[in-house]
Structure 1
C-alpha cells in the first residue's frame, strides 16, 4: 500500500508530461497557421486594397496669403479691423492722413488748367502769325505793283530824255527842258530802285512770317486739347495725385480673415511695409508630405480624401492632386544635408504633394493655415 501510494504521484506527473507534449504540437501548428493567415490577409490587403491608395498623416493646411501693404506713406488715422475678423474683398481696412495728397492734387489740377490755357494761347498765336504771314503776302503784291509802276515811269522818263537829248543840237529843245527831263529820269530811277528794295524787304518779311508761323504750328500740329504733350503730361500728374489720394484708403484685396495686424492709429507707415495679412480661408489647400517610396503611381488629377485633427474623422474633405513640389524639404532647407561623407546613412525623403480642397466643404467646415491633416490619395483614379 505504501509503495503503491508513493508511486501514484510519479505516475501522474509522467502522464501530465506526456499530455503536455501531445498538446504542444497542435498549438505550434495553430500558431503557425495563424501567422500564415495574417500574412496572407496582409498580402491580400496590400494587393487589392493597400495598392489602390497611399496615405500620410504628415500633411498641413496651406494658403496663398495676401499681404496688405500701403502704397503711400503717412500717419494712420483710422483702423477698422482687428485680428481674426472676417473681411470681404474691397472692404475698408484702414485710412492714412490725406492732407498732403489733397494739396498735391490741387497743385496738379492747377498745372493742368495752366497747360490748357497755354495750349489755347498757342493756337491763337498760330492764327495771328498766319494772318501776319497772309498780310505780308498781300504787301508783296502791293510792292510788286508799285515796282511795276516805277518801272513804267522810268521807261517813260528814259524815252522823254532820249528824245530831248536828240533834239538839243537842232535847237528844238531848250537846255531847261533837257535838264527837266534829266531830273525826271533820275527821279524815276530812284523811285524804281526804292520800289525794288521795298519788294525785296516785303518778300523777306513774308518768308520770316511764314517761318515763325511754321515754328509755332509745329508745337501744336497734329494735336488736340486732349492729346497735346504738355496737356497729357499735366493730366498724368493729376492722375498720379488722384491715385495717391485713393491709396490713403486701404481696402482688402481678397476675401479672408485678418491676421498679423501690425499697425495702430497714430503710427506713421511707410510705403511697402506690411500692415497686416489677409488669409483666404475659402481658398486653402493641403501640402501632404508623402514618402518618396509612395509616389511612384501618384499623378495630378487623382482624387484624395482628407480628415483634419481639428474636426476629427467625422468630417471628411474631398480634393484632388494638382501638383508636386520642385524638391524635398531637405533640398530647400536653410542648411541642406551634406551626404558626401563617410558616415552617410540613407533616410527616406518626403516630397510635398499639393491637394486642392473643395470650396463648398471649406465653407461648411472652415480650416486655418497650419492645421494638421490626414491625406489619402486614390491611385486608381485620375482625370
Structure 2
C-alpha cells in the first residue's frame, strides 16, 4: 500500500526510483540478447562459409617436404685421396665429389691395352696366313697339273712301246723302263692330288677363324677390347661425380679411408625438385582427386608465405602397410586406429626458388576438392623416366674412344682395308 501523500500545493507526489535489482536484470537480458545474437550470426556465418567453402576443403598438418636424396656410392673399391665437397655445399651435376687412388686402375688399363694390341697383331697374322695358304694351294695345283702331264706322257710312251715288244722293234728292257716311268708318274700324280687336298683343307681351317669378319670385329679382338673398356671405366670410376644438381648432406667419408663398392659416402639432395607428402586420414580421401589445387604453409616461413601446388598422386596403401613391422590386427586384442594415406602434392618452382625449403620440414596443407573431374588413380602409364642423368653416358663414350685409339695404333694399313 502506497504511503505517498499529496504535496501542500495539491500536486501528485513523484514516482519512487527504480530498484537496482531491476536495472541489473535488464542489463543481463540485453547482454544475453546480444550474446545470443552474436552466436546466431556466428553460426550463420560459419554455416555459410562451410556451405560455400569449408565443405570443399580437406586439410592436414601431418605433411612434410620430400625430395630426391641421391646416395653417392663408389662403383669400385679404393682409398680416398680427395674429398671435393662437404656438407651444406651446393654442387652441380658432373662435379667431382671424391677421388679414389687410381694407381691400380691405371696398371690394369695398361695391361688391358697391351693385351688388345697383342691380340690385334695375332688376328692380323691369321688374315695374312690365309693369303699364304691360298698361294700354297695354287702351287700344289700347279704341281698336280705338271704331275698329270708327266703321267700322260708316260702313258703314251708305254702305250707306244707295248705292241713293239713282241716284234722285237723295242727291247724288253726299254719297255720295262717306260713302264717304271709310268708307275712313278702315277705315284707323283697321286701325291700331288693329296698335297692339293691337304693345302685346301688347311686353307679352309684357317678361313673358319676369319671368315665373315674383319680384324677389328674379330671375336678375339672384341673380347680384348671389352677388357680395355672395363679397365678404362674402372679408372674413370675412381672419380666420383655428382649425378644431379643439389646440396651435399650426410658426408661420412674421410681421407685415407678404404672403401668398398657400394659404401655410402655422402648424399646429394636436389632442393629445386621438392614436393610435399601429405598424410590424410582415410575418411578424408573420399573427395580427393588428382589435379586438385592445394595451398601449403611451412612452419619455417609462417602463414605469410603460401605455396601453391596440385595433387599429383595418391599412395597405393597406408603408411602402416609399408612400415618395417606392419601391424598384425588379426592377433590379440584390437583397437581401431584411423589410418593415413600419403598424398603427393607438387610445389611451384618459382615459389620454391623465392622461399627455399628443406627436406623433412613440416607443412600445413589444404586441398580444394571442388574439382571432381580428375581420377583417384592415374590411368595412364609412365610417359618418361622419372629421373635421368647424362654424366655416365660421357664415361661410356670416353671408353669407346680409348678402344678406338688402341685399335688404330695396332692396325696396319692392310688390316684396316679388310
Q: TM-score range by the shorter chain?
A: 0.7 to 0.9
Structure 2: tracts of 5 or more residues without a match: 5-15, 375-418
Paired residues for 1:176-191 under 5 Å: 181-191=171-181
SS of 2:277 mapped into structure 1: strand
Cα deviation 1:50-92 (Å, max 9, x = unaligned): 1222221111001121110111111111111111111010011
**Number of matched pairs:** 359
C-alpha distance 323-107 of structure 1, shift in aligned 2 (>3 A): same
Greater percentage in helix: 1
In the alignment, the residues of structure 2 paired with residue 313 and residue 27 of structure 1 have an alpha-carbon distance, to the nearest angstrom, of 35
> Are 2:270 and 1:266 equivalent residues in the alignment?
no
Residue 81 of structure 2 corresponds to 77
Paired residues for 1:162-173 under 5 Å: 162-164=166-168
In the alignment, the residues of structure 2 paired with residue 129 and residue 315 of structure 1 have an alpha-carbon distance, to the nearest angstrom, of 85
In the alignment, the residues of structure 1 paired with residue 194 and residue 134 of structure 2 have an alpha-carbon distance, to the nearest angstrom, of 16
C-alpha distance 86-327 of structure 1, shift in aligned 2 (>3 A): same
Cα deviation 1:341-360 (Å, max 9, x = unaligned): 68544333221110111122
Residue 293 of structure 2 corresponds to 303
Residue 238 of structure 1 corresponds to 228
Deviation (angstroms), 1:295: 1.9
Deviation (angstroms), 1:132: 0.6
Residue 47 of structure 2 corresponds to 43
In the alignment, the residues of structure 2 paired with residue 141 and residue 41 of structure 1 have an alpha-carbon distance, to the nearest angstrom, of 119
SS of 1:312 mapped into structure 2: coil
Deviation (angstroms), 1:250: 0.7
SS of 2:365 mapped into structure 1: strand
In the alignment, the residues of structure 1 paired with residue 238 and residue 252 of structure 2 have an alpha-carbon distance, to the nearest angstrom, of 17
From 182, 186, 194, the counterpart of 1:192: 182
> Are 2:138 and 1:123 equivalent residues in the alignment?
no
C-alpha distance 309-22 of structure 1, shift in aligned 2 (>3 A): closer
- Point out the more displaced range, 152-161 or 34-43: 34-43
> Are 2:195 and 1:209 equivalent residues in the alignment?
no
Residue 238 of structure 2 corresponds to 248
Residue 159 of structure 1 corresponds to 163
In the alignment, the residues of structure 2 paired with residue 110 and residue 343 of structure 1 have an alpha-carbon distance, to the nearest angstrom, of 72
SS of 2:367 mapped into structure 1: strand
In the alignment, the residues of structure 1 paired with residue 27 and residue 124 of structure 2 have an alpha-carbon distance, to the nearest angstrom, of 119
SS of 1:289 mapped into structure 2: strand
> Are 2:220 and 1:227 equivalent residues in the alignment?
no
Structure 1: tracts of 5 or more residues without a match: 5-11, 165-176
In the alignment, the residues of structure 2 paired with residue 308 and residue 104 of structure 1 have an alpha-carbon distance, to the nearest angstrom, of 53
Residue 360 of structure 2 corresponds to 370
C-alpha distance 372-209 of structure 1, shift in aligned 2 (>3 A): same
The structure whose Rg is larger is 1
From 366, 369, 374, the counterpart of 1:379: 369
> In angstroms, what is the RMSD of aligned CA positions?
2.3
Residue 280 of structure 2 corresponds to 290
In the alignment, the residues of structure 1 paired with residue 333 and residue 47 of structure 2 have an alpha-carbon distance, to the nearest angstrom, of 35
